[in-house]
Amino acid sequence: MERVGAEHLEDAIDIQILQKVLPKFHGTQGKLEEPLNRLNEFCETEGFARSAKKLQRMLKDLSEQGYCSFIA
C-alpha cells in the first residue's frame, strides 16, 4: 500500500468523504437538512470540491422531494 503525499492529502480526504461518509446519509428533510448544510459548508470551506458538489445535489433533491439519498 502506498502512502499519500502531503500534496494529495486533500484529494484523498475528499474521496473518502465521498465514498465512506456521504452514502450513510439518507432520509427526510427534517432529519437531514441541518447536517447536510453543515457538512456542505465544511466541504466548501476546506476545499473538498467533489464532496461539496455531491452534497449540493443531495440538498437540491431534499428541497425538491423532501427526501434524499446518496444514490440518486
- Per residue in 15-39, pLDDT (tens digit) is 999 999 999 999 999 999 999 999 9
Q: Is residue 19 part of a domain?
A: no
Q: Answer whether residue 4 is part of any domain.
A: no
**C-beta of residue 58 within 8 angstroms of C-beta of residue 29:** no
Domain of residue 51 covers 25-72
* ∠ Cα 37 40 53 (to 5°): 125
In a domain, 62, yes or no: yes
If one counts the domains in the chain, the total is: 1
Is 5 within the bounds of a domain?
no
Which whole number is the average pLDDT over 3-22?
A: 91
Please list the alpha-helical segments (H only) found in the chain: 9-16, 29-46, 49-65
- Could you tell me the pLDDT band of residue 4, with boundaries at 50, 70 and 90? low
Residue 10 lies in a domain: no
